[in-house]
């Protein structure tokens, strides 16, 4: 069937063609080895561009039981290039594509004989060990802390009982029995879409809420789960906007819900709205272990799948991770659009959400053009701080020369370009947001705003000029020295307080002509000035009002 978007099988084939896939055919324990193995490419100092997707084809569990179904980890967003494959566009076009999709949604198209229904399991087999959920090679995400294998890459579909509009979110689902799991839908302030549906079912006195959990959507549909769309928006329509064509959907077998037709696996069932069951501990995306909580039990009524299904699993927990990459590529354009278009702050060049350990939620960096008015810098900081309730506890404004992904560069800017008395402010009355301190405990938080932009011209950074560092890099490589992990800034450059006279003198010194510089400076000697008085290069004379 022709369509303008890829299913997961086609996505994997493209990753293989582009050398973005590592296929692991040695025996791997899904309960203790799989996620730790992939985790090393996030914790081992590798560049983002070097990270790849992992496809496991020889899987067993902690008891030695083998599985035929492969597992894909890091397959949607181990790095930006993999994400762009799923989006069917270059990474530089992602922001525009999201904006266009949200503004121009396209309703899905219903089809028969869907791939996700090639195999249908219902009835008694769902209750037996080795059947139902127990037949799926679901990994343990944080071995040593998690209490169960957990679906981390599922798109959980529910429906509003009043409007019949569906919601699709990515929520964790812990396996409890072959025919039972427990779903954790966010209860944070405002609530996730699925949780709001749950509350409506309770208010109506309906004891069970129909649910379909999708494993292995076409990537362009899977990206809908972590994306924060307005409540009441059907994610299938925005996915259609991304594809610029209708997404193929079909009806589930045992629940009245619409599901993606090209999905790998569909888990159907009902959430009990009258009781909750202990779930967790589980390593959460905020980077800490979420302790045991009561969450929503779901009984399974059917599991359908493709004949050669693949189980996807996200690397989440401590950032950087696959889930933080998915969110970062989607969230940063939303922040930029908010500041530049909706708040009309034209001097904002980009917005970056700090990823390592803070997981995008705590540190937001706003890059401002040079000489941006002071008032506009502060407007950008205040508006960034309150754009999303669970982000931007710390907001920092910097100039374009600062590498926002280099924490050392950020500290450098704060150290030399901000005056704490004038350039740092705190703002009260914000919630805790998603993290180890949960907002439902009633604890309040605050925001820290820092203007770390240059307020006046500064001398150049004291590193060799770019051309000399580049030549030295060539020599380094010729000598076969260890591979370098280059971070900006890696060469000196002007920060405004620099003159062509000094530039020429530097070029002469680098060419071995320092004696000529000495002859020039000898002619400029003066009497009666205190040592360390600055020189005015335009007048070639001393400046300053201190004399001996």
CA gap 32, 37 in Å, rounded: 9
The structure tokens 């439902």 sit at 440
Q: How many helices (H) and strands (E) are present in the chain, helices listed first?
A: 14, 29
The structure tokens 């869907």 sit at 114
pTM of the model: 0.84
Handedness of CA 33, 34, 35, 36 (dihedral sign): positive
Find residue 297's DSSP bridge partners.
182
H/E run at residue 3:
none
Please, how many CA atoms are within 13 Å of residue 89, restricted to the half-sphere of its CB?
Answer: 15
**Residue 151 pLDDT > 70, yes or no?**
yes
Give tens-digit pLDDT for 199-208. 999 999 999 9
Assign domain 8-313 to its CATH architecture. Answer: Roll (2.30)
Where do the domains of the chain lie? 8-313, 343-451, 499-548
Band of pLDDT at residue 442, cut at 50, 70 and 90: low
Token pair recorded at residue 393: 């506890």
Within 8 A by CB and 6+ apart from 341, the residues are none
Band of pLDDT at residue 439, cut at 50, 70 and 90: very low
Band of pLDDT at residue 436, cut at 50, 70 and 90: low
Note the pLDDT of residue 437.
56
The closest alpha carbon to 221, from 279, 166, 150, belongs to 166
Note the pLDDT of residue 45.
78
Give tens-digit pLDDT for 443-477. 678 899 999 999 999 999 888 999 999 999 999 99
Give tens-digit pLDDT for 274-315. 999 999 888 887 778 888 899 999 999 999 999 999 999 998
DSSP string, 262-275: T-SEEEEEEEESS-
CATH of domain 343-451: 3.40.1670.10
State the Cα torsion 502-508-510-513 to the nearest 10°: -140
Mean pLDDT, residues 111-123 taken together = 95
Helix then strand then coil, % of the chain, to nearest 5: 30, 25, 45
Go through the chain and tell me how many residues it has.
548
State the Cα torsion 18-19-20-21 to the nearest 10°: 120
Give tens-digit pLDDT for 17-45. 999 999 999 999 999 999 999 999 988 87
């Amino acid at each position: 069937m022709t369509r303008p978007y890829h299913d997961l099988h086609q996505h994997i084939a493209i990753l293989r063609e582009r050398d973005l896939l590592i296929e692991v055919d040695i025996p791997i324990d899904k309960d203790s080895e799989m996620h730790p193995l992939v985790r090393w490419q996030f914790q081992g100092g590798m560049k983002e561009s070097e990270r790849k997707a992992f496809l496991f084809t020889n899987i067993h569990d902690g008891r030695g039981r083998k599985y035929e179904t492969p597992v894909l980890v890091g397959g949607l967003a181990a790095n930006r290039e993999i994400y762009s494959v799923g989006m069917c566009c270059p990474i530089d076009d992602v922001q525009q594509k999201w904006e266009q999709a949200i503004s121009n949604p396209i309703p899905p198209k219903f089809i028969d004989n869907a791939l996700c229904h090639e195999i249908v399991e219902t009835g008694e087999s769902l209750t037996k060990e080795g059947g139902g959920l127990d037949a799926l090679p679901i990994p343990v995400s944080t071995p040593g802390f998690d209490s169960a294998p957990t679906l981390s890459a599922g798109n959980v579909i529910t429906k509003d009982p009043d409007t019949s509009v569906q919601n699709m979110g990515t929520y964790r689902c812990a396996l409890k029995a072959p025919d039972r799991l427990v779903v954790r839908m966010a209860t944070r302030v405002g609530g996730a879409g699925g949780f709001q549906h749950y509350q409506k079912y309770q208010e109506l006195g309906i004891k069970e809420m129909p649910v379909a959990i999708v494993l292995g959507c076409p990537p362009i549909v899977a990206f809908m789960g972590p994306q924060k769309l307005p409540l009441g928006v059907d994610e299938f329509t925005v996915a259609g906007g991304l594809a610029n064509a209708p997404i193929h959907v079909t009806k589930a077998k045992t629940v009245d819900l619409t599901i993606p037709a090209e999905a790998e696996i569909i888990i159907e069932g009902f959430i009990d709205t009258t009781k909750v069951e202990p779930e967790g501990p589980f390593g959460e995306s905020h980077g800490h272990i979420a302790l045991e909580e009561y969450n929503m039990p779901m009984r399974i009524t059917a599991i359908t799948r493709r004949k050669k299904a693949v189980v996807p699993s996200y690397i989440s927990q401590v950032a950087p991770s696959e889930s933080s990459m998915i969110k970062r590529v989607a969230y940063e354009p939303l922040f930029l659009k908010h500041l530049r278009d909706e708040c009309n702050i034209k001097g904002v060049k980009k917005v970056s959400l700090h990823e390592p350990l803070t997981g995008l939620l705590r540190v937001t960096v706003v890059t401002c053009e040079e000489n941006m008015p002071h008032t506009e810098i502060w407007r950008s900081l205040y508006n960034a701080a309150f754009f999303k309730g669970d982000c931007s506890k710390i907001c920092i404004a910097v100039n374009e020369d600062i590498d926002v992904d280099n924490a050392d560069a950020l500290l450098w800017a704060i150290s030399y370009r901000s005056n704490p008395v004038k350039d740092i402010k705190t703002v009260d009355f914000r919630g805790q947001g998603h993290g180890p301190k949960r907002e439902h405990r009633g604890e309040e938080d605050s925001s820290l705003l820092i203007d770390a932009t240059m307020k006046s011209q500064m001398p150049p950074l004291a590193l060799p000029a770019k051309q000399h560092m580049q030549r030295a890099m060539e020599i380094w490589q010729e000598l076969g020295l260890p591979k370098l992990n280059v971070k900006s800034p890696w060469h000196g450059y002007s920060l405004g307080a620099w003159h062509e006279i000094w530039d020429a003198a530097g070029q002469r010194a680098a060419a071995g002509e320092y004696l000529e510089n000495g002859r020039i400076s000898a002619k400029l000697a003066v009497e009666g000035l205190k040592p360390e008085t600055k020189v005015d290069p335009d007048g070639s004379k001393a400046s300053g009002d201190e004399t001996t």
